[in-house]
Structure 1
Amino acid sequence: MFSYRFLALILSLFLALSTATFAQTPPAPDYEAWDRLADRFEQTLASGSADSTQLDTIRTVVTEWRDRFRSQEGVNSARISTLRDQIAALGPVPGEGETEAEDVAARRQELNKQLAELQAPGLKAVEAQGRANGIIEQVDQLLRAQQADALMRKTPSPVNPARWAPAVAEAGNVAANVYDEVRTRWEANGGLTGLRDNVPFIAGFLLLALWLLTRGRRLVDTLPGVLSGRASENSRAALIFGVSLGQIAIPMIGVILAASALYATDLFASWGRPILLSVPLAALSLFGGIWLGRRMFPDAGFVGIPPLPLTEKQRGQARFRTRMLATALALHQLFTGSVLPLGGFNSGSERMAGAIPEPLSDASAGVWHFLLILLGAFYLMSLCNILRRLKRSEGQEGQETQYYRIRIMVLLAMVGRPVALLAPVAAAFGYVTAANAILWASVLTLALVGFLVILQDFIADLYMLAVRDGSARESLIPVLIGFLVILPSIPLFALIWGARLMDLSEAWIRAQEGFSFGGVRLSPMGILTFLVVFGIGYGLTHFVQGAFRSSILPKTQMDKGGQNAVVSIIGYVGIGLAAMLAINSAGIDLTSLAFVAGALSVGIGFGMQQVVSNFVSGIILLIERPVAVGDWIDVGGKQGIVKKMAVRATQIQTFDRNEIIVPNSDLITQPVTNWTRGNLTGRIIVPVGVAYGSDTRKVAKILMEIAENQPTVLINPAPFILFRGFGADSMDFEIRAMLSDINGGLGVTSEINHQIAERFAAEGIEIPFAQRDLWLRNPEALALARDAGDAAGTAGDTAAATQGDDPPPGLPRASIRNEAPEGGYRGDDEDDGDSDGDGDGDR
C-alpha cells in the first residue's frame, strides 16, 4: 500500500514539474536591442555595399530574432480567451443613446483594461516580427539580384585560340602547386616518421577503400542476378532494387574512406584540400548516374517490366549516354568546387574571403568549363534524341502506368534538345556561368525525374510483395502513393534551378502562416489536421455502420429495408459530425464565409436544384420509408426490385435483370405502386373466356377448384370466381385470389392457366378465339358473280372464288355463304365459327 502511494506521489510531482516546465512563458525579447540592431541592418542594406557573406549573416541574425518574436505571439492566450468570455457574458455594448448599469459598466471597463494589458506583449511581438520580415525580404531581394548578376556575368570567349595556351599553363601550374604543397608538408611533418602514429589507420582505410572500389563493386554488381533466381516471383523485383542500391553505397564508402585517409595525412592544404572535399560529391554523381542508367535502361537480364518501352538496342545506347553524362557532371562538380570556381554563385565570396586561392583566371576557367559543357551537351542531345521517340507498346503490361511517364519523358527530351544547343552557344559568347546553370540543371532535372519513375516502380513492387498478388502492381493504392512521392521532390527541383535553402525555409514559414481564402486562413498544418481528423471520423463512421449492419440490427425485429435506412442515416450523421469536428480542429472559422455562402446560395440553388431535391427526397424516403430495399415497386411504368437507395437516386433491378436508376424526387412526386410494402400479400386476377353454350355453373366450379388447389392462395379471404359478362367472342370469367407472397404471382398465374387448359379439355369446355362478321350491302352483285361462275362450267373457278381469290372489280375479298338474314350475306375474315358442322356458321 505504501509503495503504491509513494509511486502515486512521485508521479504527481513529475506531472506537476512537467506542467510547470511546459507552461513557462518564454522570456520577453529585448526590444530596445532589437531596434538598435534593426536600424543598423537597414542602413547597411540601404547603402548597397554588403556582399553575399554579409547578407547571409544579416539574414541569419534577423531570422533568430524573428523566431523569438513568434514565440511571444501566443503569450497569455489562455487568460485572453477567458477575459473575452467574461466580457461577452456581460452582454452587448449599449448602443448610442442607451444606458448601462453602473456596476456592469465598471466591470466591463476593468475587464477591457486587463485585456489590453495582456494583449500588449503579443501585439508588440507581432509588430517586431513584421519589421523582421521586411528586413529578411529585403535581404532576399539583394541576394537574388546578386545571383542574377553572377549568372549574367560575361567572361572572355573560350573559343578564342589565344586563351587555350594560358588555360593549359594555368592548369599545369595548379598541379604543380598541389605537388609542391604535398612535398613541402611531407618534409615539414618529418616524412614517414611524422606519419608513424597514423600509418595503420591510413593504410587500413586505403586498403579497404581499394577493395570496395574493385572487388566489392564487382560483387555487388553480380549480386542482383544471383538473387533473382532464388527469390519468389512477388519479392524478386523489390529485393533486386534494394540490393542494387549497393552499387551506389559500396563505391561511395570506398571513395569516402580514401578521401578521409588522404585528408588524415595532413599533406593537403589550401590547394589540395578543396579537391579532396569535392571528391565525395563528384563520386555520388558518377556512381548515382551509372546506377540510374542501369535501372532506367536495363539490359536483357532485367527482372520485371522496364520503366520505359524501348528496344534492347535503344536501352544500350541510352545506358552508355547516361554513363557519359554522369561522368561529365562529376567532372564539373569536382573542378567547380576546387580549381574551376567560376560556375558557383557562392564561389566568388569564398575566394574573396581567402578560403580558396585563385587557381585559374576567369578566361582559363572558361576554356575548361567550355570543354565540359561541350561534352555534357553532346550526350544530353544524344539521350534526348532517344527519349523523344518513346511510344507506348500495344498489349504490354503496365501501359496505363507508363502512359503519363512517357509523356513527361518526351516533354523533357523536347526541352532538353534546345538546352543542349543553347548552352555551348552561350558559353562560346562568354556567358559560361549561365551556360553551366542551364545545362547541368537540365541534366539533374532529367536524373531526378528518372529517379522518381524508378521509385514509383519500387513502391508498386513493395505493395505487390505486401499483398502477395502479382496483379496488385497496377492497383490504385501504389499509384496514389507514387504520385504522393512527387510532392517531397518539389523542393529538390527548386534547389536544382537555383533556389537556396534559406528560400525554401522562408517559403515553409510563410506556408505555415497560411493564406487567406474568402476570409478564412488556411495553413498546411490546418489542412493536414482537417484531413487526419476527417479521415479518423470517416473510418469510425464506417466501423459503426458495419457493427450495426452485422451485429446489432440483425438481432432486432426490423426488416431489411429498415436496417438499411438506419445504416444510411448513421453514415450521413457520422460524416457530417466528422466534417464539423475536422473544421473545428483545423481552426477554420466558417462565419467569415457567411457572406460568400449567401452570394453563392442563389446560383447553387438554381444550378443544383435537382441535386438538392433528390438529396432531400432521399432523406425523406429513409425517414418515412414508403419504399425500402427489397420492395417490388412500379414507378413510371417500370417494375422491379429495389436494390440500393443512395443519396441521389434509387437503383431498381427489373425482372429482365436490367438496372434502372430512378431519381429520388420521382419516388416522392410520382405515383408509386409498392407491391410488397408492409406485407407480401397480394391479389392476382386470371381472366378466361369460354364458348357460348357452355355450362357457366360448371365453369365456375372448375375454376374455384383450380384456385383452391394452389398452395400460396389464401383461404381467408377465399378466392372468388367472377362471371364478368358476355363478350364479343366468349363468356368472360375471372379468378381473383389473394396470394401469401405476391412475388410468386406470375408463377401462380402460369400454373392456373395450365390447369385451366387441362381441365377444360377434359370436361369438353371450349375456349373460343376471336370472330369477326362482315355484312355486305350488295348481295345482287354476288349473285351475278355466282351465275358467271356457273356459266363458265369450271368447278375450279368456283372453288377459287370461294377460297378468296381475287373477285371481280368492285367486290370485296370474302367467303360467300348461301344464307344471309335480312337479305344479306355474311362473311368471316378469320373463321366462320362453324362449330356444329352444318356449314352455315354460328351466330
Structure 2
Amino acid sequence: MMRLLRFLALTFALALAAPAFLCLTAPAAVAQEAELPDFAAWERFAKSVEETLAKSNVPQASLEQMRKQLVEWRTRFSAAQGVNAAQIDTVRQQIAALGPAPAEGETEAPDIAQRRKELNAKLSELQAPVLAAEEARRRADGLIRQIDTLVRERQTSELLTLAPTPVNPVNWPAGWAVLSQGIKTLGTEVADAWASEEKRAELQRNLPLILLYLAVATFLVLRGPGIAERLTTRLLRSQSMRARRVAAATVSLGQVIVPVLGAFLLVQAVIVTGMTGTRLRALIEAVPQAVGIFFTARWVSSWLFRSDGFVELLTQRAGEARFHVNMLSLVLAAESFRVAFITEVRPPLSLAAKGVWGAPLVVMAGVLLFRFGLILRPRQIERGAEFRDTILRWLGTATVAVSIVAPLLALIGYVNAANALIWPAIMTLGLLGLIVILQRFLAELYLLILRREDEERDALVPVLIGFALAILAIPLLALIWGARTEDLLEWWTRFSEGISIGQTRISPSVFFAFVFIFLLGYGLTRLVQSALRSTILPRTKLKKGAQTAIVSGVGYLGIFLAALIAIVGAGIDLSSLAIVAGALSVGIGFGLQNIVQNFVSGIILLIEQPIAEGDMIEVNGQFGTVRGISVRSTIIETFDRTDLIVPNADLISGVVTNLTRTNTMVRLIIPVGVAYGSDTRKVQAILKEIAENHPLVLVDPAPAVHFVAFGADSLNFEIRCILSDVNFKLDVQTEILHQIVERFAQEGIEIPFPQRDIWLRNPEALRQAPEPPAAPQPPTPSETRLATRDDTRGHDPALDGDDV
C-alpha cells in the first residue's frame, strides 16, 4: 500500500509537471507571440561583418566579438520562427478541411475555390515573417561558420609555424635575453613599489594580516597533506567500518583542497603587501594552479597505484609509477610558471626565443612520459582483466609515441605543435585517472547505499556509471586538446537542433518529450494492471487464467497506446515513413510468425485454461508440473527438478495429457503373479484386503482384484484401484508391493520366477577327443593372422546323460 501511494504521488507530480516540461521542450509552440527582430538592423550588421571578413588581417578579438553578436542574432531568429505558429496550424487545418486541391484539368465549386484562395493568401501572409526569420538565421549561421573556419585556420597555421631550432647555440642568446629582461622587470617593479611612501605605509598597516596569511598558508601547504594522508590510511585499515573506503576517499580530498587553499592564502599575502607589479602579479597568481597540479597528481597517483584502495589499477610497479607521476606534475607546474612569465612580455617573443624557452620542458616531460608509458604497458595480460589490460596496453603505447614525437618536434623547431601535443597528453592521462577514481567512488557509494556485497562492484550499474562519466568527460577532453568554449557551444547548438528524418526533426527536446510521455503512460498502465490484478478481477467470477489474460492484454494495449500518444505528443510525424514501415512489416511478419503463433496460443491457453498452473501434464513425452504460463511459452518443472520451456503452439496443436485437469485422482494397476498350484481364491482375497487397507485408496469405487491369465510361468492377477492423489502414486505402489511380499511369505504363497530345462540331444559327442590341430601355414601377404586360444576344461562325469 505504501509503494502504491508513493507511485500515485509520483504520477500526480509528473502529471502536474508535464505542461511545464512540454513547454520547455517545445519552445517553438510557445513562442507564438515572440517579438520580431529588427531585420533592417540585422541587414546592416550582416553587411559590415561580411566586409570585415573580406579583409586579410582581422584581429582575433574583433572576430570573437563579431561572433558573439552573430550568436545573439541567431538566437533571436530561432525564437522568431515560432511566430504565428498557432494561427498557421489553424489555417492549415482549414485548408485540409476543404479537401484535396483539384488536379490539373479539374474544377471545384466556385465558393470552395474562393475560400481556398483566401486561406492560402492568409497562410502566405502568416508565414512571411517565419520564412524571413529562417532565411536570416541561416545567414547568421553561415557567417558564424565562416568565422570559426578562419579561427581554425589561424590556429593550424600557428601550430605549423617552424621556429629556429633550439639545439643551435646561435639561438640561445635570444632566450637568455628574455630571462634577463624578465628578471630586470621584476626587480624594477618591486623597486618602484618600495619607493612609494604610500605603498610602504600600506605594507606596514597590513603587516599583521600578511604574517597571519603566511603562517596559515605555510601550515596548510606543508603539514595539511600529511595529516589528510595519515587519516586516510587509518580509515582504510579500519576493518569494522563498512563505509571505510568511501570515507577514506572523501577525507583524502584534503590532500588537494588544503594545500590549494594555502596557496591562495599565500597569493593573497603577497597581493596585500602592495608591492606587486604586472609581471610579479602574473607569476604569483600562477602559484595556486601549480600547487593544484602537483597535489592533484599526487592524490590521483596515490589512489591509482596502491593495493589497499578501491582502484588497484597498477600494483606491481606502484612506487615507480607514483614517482613518475609526481615528476610529471612538477614539470607541468613549471610550464604554468613559464607561460605566466612570458605572458606579459612586450614586445612578443621572437620565434627563436619561443623555441629556446619551450623546448627544454618538452624534452624533460618526454623523458618522464616515456618511462611512465612503459610502466603502464602490462607485461602479461591477467586472466579476468583482459579489457583493463588491453586498454592499459593501448594507453601505454600511445603515451610512448607522444613522448617520442613531441620532443622531436620541439628540437626541430615546431615548438607550438610540441606544446599542443605533450601537455594535453599529460592532462588527458590525469583526466582518465580522475574518471577511474570517481567511477570507483560512485560504485562504492552505490554498494553502501543499497547494502550490496563487494563482488557486485563490477555489476551493471557501476559499469553504466563509468560509461556515463566517460561521456560527460568528452567536453573536458575537447577543451584540453585545444577546442574553444565557443566550439562546444556551437556543437551543443547543432545537437539541440537535431536531425531531419523526412518532414520530422528529431531533437533532444523531442526525444525527452517522447520519453517523458511514454514513461508516464507506462506508469499509468502498470497502475491499472495492479488495480485489476489485486482489486477488481479477484472479485469477479473469472478464472485465474482469464484474469491473467486480461491483465496481460491491458499491459500490451497500454504500452502500445503510450507509445502512440508519446509519438503524437512529441510532434513526430511518421507519415513519410509509412511506406517503409509497410514494406518492413511484411518481412518482419514472416520472421515473427512463430512468435505471433505462440502469442495467440498463449492467449488461448490463458482464456480456455486446458492446463493451469500446478497441473501435472505430459507433453512431447515429458512429464512435469506447470509452473507458469506466459503469452509466449509455458514453464514445466519436471520430476528431475529441471525447467522445461515449451512454446504455447505445441500445447495448442499437440496432444497433451493432463493428469490433474478436473481432479487429482488416478487409477493404479499393479500386476501380481503366483506359482502354479497356489490357491487362487485365497490369493485374490489377500490382494483385495491389502488394497482396501491402504489409506490413499478410495473406498468408492472400491478396489478390485482380477484373475487375468495363465502365464508361462505364473498365474497372473491385477490389482485395480483409484487413488485420491496422483502425486503419491509411486509411494502407494511401493507400499502395496511390500505388503504383498510380506503376506505371501506368511501364507506360504510362492512368487515364481522364470525357469528353463536344457536337453542335450547327443551327449556322446562331448566325450570324443578333439583332433590335433593342423600345422600352421605361413600367412600370405594378403591374409590377416587370426590368433585363437583353446580353453581346455576338465571332464565332469555328472554331465553324462541326456538332461542337465
> TM bucket by the smaller chain?
0.7 to 0.9
Q: Which runs of structure 2 are paired with 1:404-423 in the superposition (5 Å)?
A: 404-423=387-406
Letter matched to residue 803 of structure 2: I
Q: How much is the aligned-residue C-alpha RMSD, in angstroms?
A: 3.7
Q: CA deviation at 1:169?
A: 2.9
1:187 to 190, 195, 218: 195
Q: Which runs of structure 2 are paired with 1:446-485 in the superposition (5 Å)?
A: 446-471=429-454, 472-485=456-469
Q: Which digits, 9 at most, give the CA deviation of each residue in 1:89-148, with x for residues without a partner?
A: 444445566665555555544444444433333332222212222111222111111111
Q: Which digits, 9 at most, give the CA deviation of each residue in 1:709-746, with x for residues without a partner?
A: 34334445554555544444445444443333323222
State yes or no: 1:424 paired with 2:427. no
Q: Which digits, 9 at most, give the CA deviation of each residue in 1:74-94, with x for residues without a partner?
A: 233334334444444444445
| 2:347 counterpart residue number | 358
Q: Give the 3-state SS of the residue equivalent to 2:74 in structure 1.
A: helix
For residues 515 and 616 of structure 1, the distance between their equivalents in structure 2, rounded to whole angstroms, comes to: 39
| 2:776 counterpart residue number | none
Task: Please identify, of 645-654 and 319-328, the stretch whose mean Cα deviation from structure 2 is larger.
Answer: 645-654
Q: Is the Cα contact below 8 Å between 2:549 and 2:603 reproduced in 1? A: no
Task: Please identify, of 119-128 and 274-283, the stretch whose mean Cα deviation from structure 2 is larger.
Answer: 274-283
Is the alpha carbon distance of 1:760 and 1:231 closer, same or farther for their aligned partners in structure 2, counting shifts above 3 Å? closer
Q: Give the 3-state SS of the residue equivalent to 2:243 in structure 1.
A: helix
Task: Please identify, of 740-749 and 195-204, the stretch whose mean Cα deviation from structure 2 is larger.
Answer: 195-204
For residues 108 and 574 of structure 1, the distance between their equivalents in structure 2, rounded to whole angstroms, comes to: 40
For residues 240 and 734 of structure 1, the distance between their equivalents in structure 2, rounded to whole angstroms, comes to: 79
For residues 767 and 337 of structure 2, the distance between their equivalents in structure 1, rounded to whole angstroms, comes to: 126
| 1:316 counterpart residue number | 319
Q: Which digits, 9 at most, give the CA deviation of each residue in 1:363-391, with x for residues without a partner?
A: 12211211100111111111111111365
How many residues are paired up? 753
State yes or no: 1:816 paired with 2:803. yes
Q: Which runs of structure 2 are paired with 1:72-471 in the superposition (5 Å)?
A: 72-94=80-102, 100=108, 104-188=112-196, 190-195=198-203, 202=210, 204-228=212-236, 232-265=240-273, 267-298=275-306, 303-311=308-316, 314-339=317-342, 357-358=346-347, 360-389=349-378, 404-471=387-454
Q: CA deviation at 1:426?
A: 0.7
| 2:665 counterpart residue number | 681
| 2:477 counterpart residue number | 493
2:488 to 499, 504, 528: 504
1:26 to 34, 41, 46: 34
Is the alpha carbon distance of 1:199 and 1:26 closer, same or farther for their aligned partners in structure 2, counting shifts above 3 Å? farther
Q: Is the Cα contact below 8 Å between 2:311 and 2:440 reproduced in 1? A: no
Letter matched to residue 356 of structure 2: V
Letter matched to residue 304 of structure 1: G
Q: Give the 3-state SS of the residue equivalent to 1:178 in structure 2.
A: helix
Q: Is the Cα contact below 8 Å between 2:311 and 2:437 reproduced in 1? A: no
Q: Is the Cα contact below 8 Å between 2:31 and 2:79 reproduced in 1? A: no
For residues 766 and 238 of structure 1, the distance between their equivalents in structure 2, rounded to whole angstroms, comes to: 80
| 1:64 counterpart residue number | 72
| 1:800 counterpart residue number | 799
Is the alpha carbon distance of 1:667 and 1:799 closer, same or farther for their aligned partners in structure 2, counting shifts above 3 Å? same
Q: Is the Cα contact below 8 Å between 2:217 and 2:261 reproduced in 1? A: yes
For residues 663 and 562 of structure 2, the distance between their equivalents in structure 1, rounded to whole angstroms, comes to: 38
For residues 182 and 338 of structure 1, the distance between their equivalents in structure 2, rounded to whole angstroms, comes to: 16
For residues 623 and 151 of structure 1, the distance between their equivalents in structure 2, rounded to whole angstroms, comes to: 75
Q: CA deviation at 1:270?
A: 4.0
For residues 309 and 492 of structure 1, the distance between their equivalents in structure 2, rounded to whole angstroms, comes to: 25
For residues 90 and 633 of structure 1, the distance between their equivalents in structure 2, rounded to whole angstroms, comes to: 64
Q: TM-score by structure 2 length? A: 0.83
Q: Which runs of structure 2 are paired with 1:593-608 in the superposition (5 Å)?
A: 593-608=577-592
Is the alpha carbon distance of 1:389 and 1:35 closer, same or farther for their aligned partners in structure 2, counting shifts above 3 Å? same
| 1:833 counterpart residue number | none
For residues 617 and 519 of structure 1, the distance between their equivalents in structure 2, rounded to whole angstroms, comes to: 40
- Identify unmatched segments of 5+ residues in structure 2: 1-19, 25-29, 770-793
For residues 734 and 549 of structure 2, the distance between their equivalents in structure 1, rounded to whole angstroms, comes to: 35
For residues 744 and 121 of structure 2, the distance between their equivalents in structure 1, rounded to whole angstroms, comes to: 105
Q: CA deviation at 1:308?
A: 1.4
Q: CA deviation at 1:573?
A: 4.3
Q: CA deviation at 1:208?
A: 3.5
Q: TM-score by structure 1 length? A: 0.80
Q: CA deviation at 1:159?
A: 0.6
Q: Is the Cα contact below 8 Å between 1:387 and 1:410 reproduced in 2? A: yes
Is the alpha carbon distance of 1:787 and 1:327 closer, same or farther for their aligned partners in structure 2, counting shifts above 3 Å? closer
Letter matched to residue 374 of structure 1: V
Letter matched to residue 733 of structure 2: T
1:513 to 478, 486, 497: 497
Q: Is the Cα contact below 8 Å between 1:307 and 1:453 reproduced in 2? A: no
Letter matched to residue 324 of structure 2: R
Q: Give the 3-state SS of the residue equivalent to 1:255 in structure 2.
A: helix
Letter matched to residue 467 of structure 1: L
Is the alpha carbon distance of 1:701 and 1:414 closer, same or farther for their aligned partners in structure 2, counting shifts above 3 Å? same
Q: CA deviation at 1:681?
A: 3.3
Letter matched to residue 465 of structure 2: I
Q: CA deviation at 1:32?
A: 1.9
- Identify unmatched segments of 5+ residues in structure 1: 1-14, 342-354, 395-399, 790-794, 803-814, 818-843
Instruction: Using the aligned pairs only, state the percent identity.
Output: 46
For residues 754 and 93 of structure 1, the distance between their equivalents in structure 2, rounded to whole angstroms, comes to: 94
Q: Give the 3-state SS of the residue equivalent to 1:123 in structure 2.
A: helix
